[in-house]
Amino acid sequence: MAKRAVIRLQLDIAAKQQLDKLCEKRGMTQIAVLSRLVKWFGRQDEVVQASVLGLLSDEMLGELAPILLNRLSDASASAKGDR
């Protein structure tokens, strides 16, 4: 049996509503959605993580946007090939 950790998550009302809509649309539980997001996020490099966390200025994001898009596209294509 795989070892698991359980954590608490605090969301504002709008984020919770968005999560509920996403789960309903995808037919997934909140735990399944959030587990996949955390696993994906943890595998990203520092630049992608900083961008997602909003730690980069708008100027820096403008310069990085095409690079990040290519990285995400490459990662998605690679993941599809691993299936």
Domain-wise residue ranges, the chain = 14-43, 46-83
Residue with the larger pLDDT of the pair 34 and 75: 34
Residue-wise pLDDT for 12-54, tens only, equals 999 999 999 999 999 999 999 999 999 999 998 888 898 889 8
CA dist list (Å): 64 to 42, 44, 74, 78: 19, 15, 15, 21
User: What's the pLDDT score for residue 82?
Assistant: 65
The whole-model pTM stands at 0.67
Query: What confidence category does residue 11 fall into, taking pLDDT thresholds of 50, 70 and 90?
Result: very high
Candidates 64, 71, 70, 5; CA nearest to 44 is 71
> 45, 71 in Cβ contact below 8 A?
yes
Residue with tokens 């294509």: 77
Cα angle: 4, vertex 31, 75; to 5 degrees: 85
